[in-house]
Amino acid sequence: MRAGSPHVVTEIDVRYLAMARVGPIVAEAAWIGEPGAGMLRAELRDHGNDARRTAVALLRVTPAPGAGR
């Protein structure tokens, strides 16, 4: 998989941990293992509330149909 090319999410598991009360809400994502495996971990944090973690998601992605043509 190439970073920067179009992908679609095929699986998602979201865990809501806390209410976002202040903001801004900042999201970060990182590959789990090799990018070719298509697994990511995303985390949302409430930076106005001591960067409290509000949600965590595990995602599987695959290249979008027609990508790379």
**Boundaries of domain holding 42:** 7-63
Q: Is the pLDDT of residue 8 over 60?
A: yes
Residue 47 resides in a domain: yes
In this model, does residue 44 exceed pLDDT 80?
yes
CA dihedral 16→17→23→26, nearest 10 degrees, is -70
Does residue 1 form part of some domain?
no
For residue 68, tell me if it sits in a domain: no
pLDDT of residue 69: 55
Q: Are 13 and 57 in contact (CB under 8 A)?
A: yes
Model pTM score? 0.80
- Token duo for residue 20: 């976002």
Please tell me the predicted confidence (pLDDT) of residue 68: 64
d(CA 46, CA 69): 39
Q: 42 or 35: whose pLDDT is higher?
A: 42
pLDDT score of 3: 63
C-alpha–C-alpha distance, residues 9 and 22, integer Å:
28
User: Does residue 23 lie within any of the structural domains?
Assistant: yes
Spatial distance between the Cα atoms of 34 and 2, rounded to a whole number of angstroms: 11
